[in-house]
């Protein structure tokens, strides 16, 4: 006859509890932060995502913003079409309330250039199937200011041209053909 150990029921109970808690945690909303949820995919700068899976219009921003799952950044769906100086563009972004959210900023040059698909012609040089507004009321085939200044000349900043996809630079105090396209997320390492 086999003898029962007094602790076996406790062990079975603890094992059952561990399985239950593990299952509950696996289905909890907090899991969205790990990249499983529809809005919180971790950035994937090391891979190229197809447009259909890369961009998501954010309904919790009144459908006025787009999550880029490749970079983890949130972009305005429809950037302003007015041309500005660099300082005006910076101010416009920091005072922006798109989707009833604050915390917008001018993107760094690599962040802005990450939206360019150089195989697309004519511009705007955005990936096929993107959800951004284009044409007369949206993304222009023109230059957009970045927050990134030239290292050897702080009066000049990098711009990304969505007509041909090239990165150029322009004097910060002159209104050329450059626009502001505001972004949220990440941290801009460039000093203003």
Per residue in 67-77, pLDDT (tens digit) is 999 999 999 99
pTM listed for this prediction: 0.75
- Asked if pLDDT for residue 124 goes beyond 70, the answer is yes
Which of 106, 122, 102, 111 minimizes the C-alpha distance to 178? 106
**What is the mean predicted confidence (pLDDT) over 122-139?**
93
Ordered DSSP codes for 33-72 = GGT-SSS-PPP-TTS---HHHHEEEEGGGTT-EEEETTTT
Q: What is the pLDDT of residue 41?
A: 56
Contact 190, 148 (CB under 8 A): yes
Q: What is the pLDDT of residue 75?
A: 97
Report all structural domains of the chain as residue ranges with CATH numbers, in order of start: 77-184 (3.10.100)
**What is the mean predicted confidence (pLDDT) over 105-126?**
94
């Amino acid at each position: 006859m086999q003898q029962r150990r007094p602790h076996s029921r406790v062990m079975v109970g603890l094992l059952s509890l561990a399985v239950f808690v593990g299952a509950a945690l696996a289905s909890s909303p907090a899991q969205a932060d790990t990249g499983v949820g529809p809005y919180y995919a971790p950035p994937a700068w090391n891979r190229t995502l197809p447009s259909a899976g890369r961009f998501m219009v954010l309904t919790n921003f009144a459908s006025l913003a787009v999550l880029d799952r490749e970079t983890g950044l949130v972009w305005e769906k429809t950037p302003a079409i007015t041309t500005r100086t660099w300082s005006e563009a910076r101010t416009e972004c920091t005072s922006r309330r798109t989707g009833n959210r604050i915390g917008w900023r001018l993107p760094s040059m690599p962040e802005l250039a990450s939206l360019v698909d150089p195989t697309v012609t004519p511009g705007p040089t955005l990936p096929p199937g993107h959800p951004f507004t284009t044409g007369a009321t949206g993304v222009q085939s023109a230059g957009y200011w970045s927050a990134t200044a030239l290292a050897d000349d702080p009066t000049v900043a990098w711009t990304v041209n969505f007509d041909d996809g090239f990165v150029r630079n322009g004097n910060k105090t002159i209104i050329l053909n450059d626009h502001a396209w505001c972004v949220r997320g990440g941290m801009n390492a460039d000093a203003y």
